[in-house]
Amino acid sequence: MPAEAALEAPVVQASASAPTTKKRRTKSKSTNKELGRRGENAAARFLYRQGYDIIERNWRCSFGEADIIARDGDALVFVEVKTRSGVEQGFPSEAVGAKKRDTYEKIALAYLADQEETEMPVRFDVVAIVAVAKDRALVRHHINAFSVA
């Protein structure tokens, strides 16, 4: 059908019973990983500028991975970093649910089991980042975002 005819063809609407599928625009896995990596680098810089001593980045154990482990004064801080390129799916910190909190508690126990010094306060923070441009971002630091039950 020529282009002109296609423009003049009647519009056919899907019936209520016909399933319609919306194609969800998704980013590639490599794009999300790159955004996450950039977010973790920005969070580490942010915490360092706030006076935190960054001890570990991407520390892994059998329970999972802690994005950042740092010292803030006498407290040992486990930091989850969440980065998004927009807020259409909600703010980044909203993605830290009960499952992630439980995982971080287990990660903290595993980390402390490997340390000589274990008599210190432990805290769980979230750094939420919304990238607004390639070199600009909104950073929100949620101190003591959740506690051990």
Q: Which domains does the chain have, with CATH numbers?
A: 27-146 (3.40.1350.10)
In whole angstroms, give the CA distance from residue 112 to residue 36: 26
pLDDT per position in the chain (149 positions), as tens? 443 333 333 333 333 444 444 444 555 677 888 888 999 999 999 999 999 999 999 999 999 999 999 999 999 999 999 998 887 777 888 888 889 999 999 999 999 999 988 788 999 999 999 988 878 889 999 999 987 65
Q: In sequence order, which residues have a C-beta less than 8 Å from that of residue 48 and are 6 or more positions away? A: 54
Say if residues 112 and 101 touch (Cβ distance below 8 Å): no
H-run or E-run covering 64: strand 64-72
